[in-house]
Every structure is written in structure tokens, then in C-alpha cells.
Amino acid sequence: MRVLLTGASGYIGALLAPRLLARGDQVRALARTPGRVQADVPVVRGDAITGEGLAESLQNVQVAYYLIHSMERAGTEQGPFPQRERLAAENFATAAHDAGVKRIVYLGGLLGDSHKDTRSRHLSSREQVERVLLEAVPDSVALRASIVIGARSRSFRLLVHLVERMRVLALPAWRRYRTKPIDERDIVEMLLSAASTDVGGRSLDVGGPDLLSYGEMIEGIAELMMVSRPSVGIAFSATPIAARVAAAIASEDPDLVVPLMESLEGDLLPADDRAAELLDVRLHTFEAAVEHALGEWEASERLAAR
């Protein structure tokens, strides 16, 4: 299969590239900075926001993986991240349609049961990108995931750093909301399967086998890190303030953390559990996912709390 992999230097893309090659796919990557792509594949310099390199990278491609997100800070001339994400998706969708791409595989976010008028900027943007891609190439597939558990996952790293650096875990009101975190290994398997399985033209909610509140997730991470962290519940969310405080504690970009925490205003659960069966993926438990992630983390970087 002839495949284009966008986001090849990013977290999920870097995990997916060697698996595609091992399967025997002909893989090409699109990257703004080709030198950051570690996989041994041809790389086209390009940018979905400007449209640079899209036509060249998509030439003769059958399946294109769209793993592009634009939440970090950018120049003011490019506008806020929902505007950047829509522009990138529209440029990519048009180029993929014109190139005759058969399927786009997109990794987005769970929408939960929130109404579109009350959905966070982050989730609204993910839904908008999904809609643009599926309208342009109708046999495409969107996988909607919540928190991905992995050593390089920004969401997981944020939680780990909070556990490491806070002696008392002050958890806002969103601690009681629930989700189904998923192991990075399972996401990669689903992305591989989504390229060729007969699931085209739809969005699939994906999650792990364990239903957890955010508070239970953080407490579980602390337990598996073998540290004792008493927790204190706060009656309100105060997301703009709490998110910036969390970003400072975790040494993270607030432009990433604020939109993520804005999404924590209700349960983010898959509509059903059919995705793993349809894509023939056996799911890892939350405990197994965290243990694997912490082990990968410690293989290259010290965990202060362990």
C-alpha cells in the first residue's frame, strides 16, 4: 500500500511509521522540518497550513494518515488554533481529493454527549477537522480517542508531572468526570487496521476497557509510580486559572493545557465499544498501559518520584 504519513515526527506518527514499514507499505512522510523525522522514509518538506508540498507528497498515494494538530502557540498572523486547524484540514482535504486518495485516516478526539454549542474549542475543532476530511474523501475513517497513555503523550506526561511535583493533589470539580483512557499500543494497532478494514465513511469512538474518573486516573498513576499523594477536592473548576497553574507546575505550554482542560467539563465516553472488535484489536488495561508508559519513560529519562 502506498501511504502518506503526516505528523511523522510527532508522538503517534513516530510510533506508527516503523509499523507501516514492517507491514510492507511504501511510506512517504510530510513534515515542516524533515530532519526531525526519524523513520527511514522519503520526506517531503511541506506545511498543511500554507499548502506547501501537499500535491507532491500526495502523488500516487492510496491512504493518507492525517495526524496534524495545531494547538501550540503560533504567530499571530496564523490566527487561533481552531482557525489554523480548519485551514490545514481544508488544504489537505482538497489536495487529497485532487490526488485521488482513496482513504484518509484521522485521529481526533472523543466528543462525548456534550451539545455542539457547549463543546470546548479543542473538541469543536477536532469535530470540524473530521467533517472536512470525510466530506472530501468519503471512504475516510476518523478515530476519536480520549487520553492516550504513553511515555510521549502530552496529556499523560502532564498528569505524571503533576503527581511528581505536587505533594498534595488539589483536584478541581472535573475530577469526577469519566473517560476511557487508551494504551498507545492499541491506538497504533487501530490506525494500522483502519487503513484497510471495511470501516470507511464513518467515525469510530475508541477507548480502553477501563472506565475511570479523572480523579481515579490520577490516583492510579500515583499508585503505580509508588508514591503517596493525598488528594483534596475543589468544588469548582476555575479552568483558565487551574490550567495555567498546572502548566506551570508541569513545565508545559499553557496554550496546549488550557484547551485540553476546557474539554474536562463532562464525561468523555465512547458511544459504544465496537471499534476494537471492528478493527480486531485486543485492548490493554489501564494498569498495563501506565506500567508500559512509565517503563518507556524511565528507559530514556529519570522519573523523580519513582
Query: Per residue in 96-133, pLDDT tens?
Result: 999 999 999 999 988 876 545 455 666 788 889 999 99
Rounded Cα distance between 290 and 212, Å, is 13
pLDDT of residue 250: 76
pLDDT of residue 236: 58
pLDDT of residue 78: 59
| Residue ranges of domains in the chain | 2-146+183-206+270-281
pLDDT of residue 237: 62
Supply the DSSP symbol for 174.
G
pLDDT of residue 165: 83
pLDDT of residue 88: 95
Cell 479552568 belongs to: 239
Beta strands in the chain (DSSP E): 2-6, 26-31, 43-45, 63-66, 103-109, 141-145, 148-149, 169-171, 178-179, 182-183, 202-205, 212-213, 231-233
Residuewise pLDDT in 10s, the chain (306 residues): 999 999 999 999 999 999 999 999 999 999 999 999 999 999 999 999 999 999 999 999 999 999 998 654 444 455 677 788 999 999 999 999 999 999 999 999 888 765 454 556 667 888 899 999 999 999 999 999 989 999 999 889 888 988 888 888 777 777 888 999 999 999 999 999 999 999 999 999 999 999 999 889 999 999 999 988 877 777 556 666 667 777 787 777 777 676 666 666 788 899 998 999 999 999 999 999 999 999 999 998 887 665
Superfamily of domain 2-146+183-206+270-281: NAD(P)-binding Rossmann-like Domain (3.40.50.720)
Contacts of 82 (CB under 8 A, 6+ apart): 121, 124, 125, 128
